């Protein structure tokens, strides 16, 4: 493993009731990198980050965070790691301002303003909405300027404007050299924030890479749809490089193939001199790639596929 890794996990195993939730997982996060763990519910993402933080004892394997053991060196790591986890909670009567002072003194006051909680300083934790609690936990995770931030379902319950604000704040951590380990179901979030994405299923890593690399490897098919112009020679679409299939219904063509086929179809239409006004192109994204990857790892039925997409 590389010498500049902030997090090193090797052969991690964690089981509950005889069932392995994490099964021989290897993971490395470089210093200053934002890495996302993605996968459906039960993939082992949250258990993995809880082990990394020292909240759970692994059954097998080794974990190193900045060269320290998360459990044996918990006191030293506490100053280096900030976290916002699904299981986080605070006393109902603890006020927002009190929580920030408890975790980080006066330095957290600017963060309250940045995340729209300045007017809630005197509000008790029990009086906060779900989205406000999420933002408060993020403030508490960042208040001590940690070198590693662990975030689990970062923007769950936030409205679109709040999500964008949180994304901007996390993106800003990159310029500060902060390492971020992010658990998320939101694939647009992973694409927007992560340098690398680790796709998990049944406690194992299926593949890892930049969002673009995962799309390239597992989401290759593009779809081009248009009304067939009169000047287009019959059978010409099927002969184009990269085209896998052509379906014609009611005078409209649906062309599926490699992304390079988009250029080939476009060039052919330009050559005919009649560009259809209803021409549309669908390029695969990270969601397409992840569904394809997970289905390829273990074939799943239509009902399970719908459940998987819903979880993402």
Tens of pLDDT, residues 182-216: 998 888 899 999 999 999 999 999 999 999 999 88
Residues 238 and 275 in one domain: yes
Residues 41 and 142 in one domain: yes
**Prediction pTM value:** 0.79
CA distance 272 to 289: 33
256 contacts 248 by C-beta, under 8 angstroms: no
Helix (H, G, I), strand (E, B) or coil at 166: helix
Residues 236 and 113 in one domain: no
Tokens of 253: 């063509």
Q: Tell me whether residue 158 is exposed, middle or buried, using C-beta atoms within 10 angstroms of its C-beta: 0 to 12, 13 to 18, 19 or more.
A: buried
Tokens 């309250």: give the residue.
Answer: 112
CA distance 61 to 55: 15
Residues 121 and 254 in one domain: no
Q: Residue 166's pLDDT is what?
A: 84
Residues 134 and 273 in one domain: no
User: Would residue 21 count as lying in a domain?
Assistant: yes
Residues 83 and 13 in one domain: yes
Of the three residues 183, 212, 241, the one that is the final residue of a domain is 212
Q: What percent of the chain has pLDDT over 90?
A: 56
185 contacts 311 by C-beta, under 8 angstroms: yes
User: Would residue 258 count as lying in a domain?
Assistant: yes
Residues 147 and 266 in one domain: no
Question: In which order are the strands placed within the sheet that holds 243-249?
Answer: 243-249, 252-258, 221-227, 280-282
Residues 257 and 121 in one domain: no
**How many structural domains compose the chain?**
2
Segments forming the whole domain that contains residue 263: 221-282
Q: Residue 297's pLDDT is what?
A: 58
Residues 26 and 139 in one domain: yes
Residue 287 pLDDT level (bands cut at 50, 70, 90): confident
Residues 205 and 242 in one domain: no
Average pLDDT over residues 28-36: 96
User: Would residue 136 count as lying in a domain?
Assistant: yes
Q: Residue 241 sits in a domain of what CATH number?
A: 3.30.70
257 contacts 245 by C-beta, under 8 angstroms: yes
Residues 53 and 168 in one domain: yes
Residues 200 and 93 in one domain: yes
Q: Residue 105's pLDDT is what?
A: 60
User: Would residue 298 count as lying in a domain?
Assistant: no
């Amino acid at each position: 493993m590389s010498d500049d890794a902030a997090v090193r996990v090797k052969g991690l195993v964690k089981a509950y009731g005889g069932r392995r939730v994490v099964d021989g997982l290897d993971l490395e996060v470089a210093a200053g990198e934002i890495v996302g763990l993605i996968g459906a519910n039960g993939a082992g993402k949250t258990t993995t980050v809880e082990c990394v933080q020292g909240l759970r004892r692994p059954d097998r394997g080794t974990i190193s965070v900045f060269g320290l053991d998360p459990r044996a060196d918990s006191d030293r790591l506490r100053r280096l790691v900030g976290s916002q986890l699904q299981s986080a909670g605070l006393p109902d009567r603890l006020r927002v301002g009190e929580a920030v002072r408890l975790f980080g003194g006066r330095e957290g006051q600017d963060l309250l303003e940045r995340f729209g909680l300045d007017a809630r300083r005197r509000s008790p934790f029990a009086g906060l909405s779900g989205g406000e609690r999420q933002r408060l936990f993020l403030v508490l995770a960042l208040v001590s300027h940690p070198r590693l931030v662990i975030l689990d379902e970062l923007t769950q319950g936030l409205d679109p404007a709040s999500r964008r604000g949180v994304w901007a704040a996390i993106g800003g951590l990159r310029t500060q050299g902060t390492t971020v380990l992010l658990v998320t179901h939101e694939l647009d979030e992973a694409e927007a924030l992560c340098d690398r994405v680790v796709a998990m299923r049944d406690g194992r890593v299926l593949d890892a890479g930049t969002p673009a690399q995962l799309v390239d490897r597992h989401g290759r098919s593009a779809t081009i749809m248009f009304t067939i112009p009169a000047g287009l020679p019959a059978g010409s679409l099927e002969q184009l490089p990269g085209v896998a299939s052509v379906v014609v219904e009611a005078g409209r063509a649906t062309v599926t193939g490699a992304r390079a086929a988009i250029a080939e179809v476009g060039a052919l239409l330009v050559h005919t001199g009649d560009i259809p006004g209803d021409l549309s192109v669908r390029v695969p994204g990270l969601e397409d790639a992840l569904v394809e990857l997970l289905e390829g790892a273990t074939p799943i039925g239509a009902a399970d596929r719908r459940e998987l997409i819903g979880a993402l």
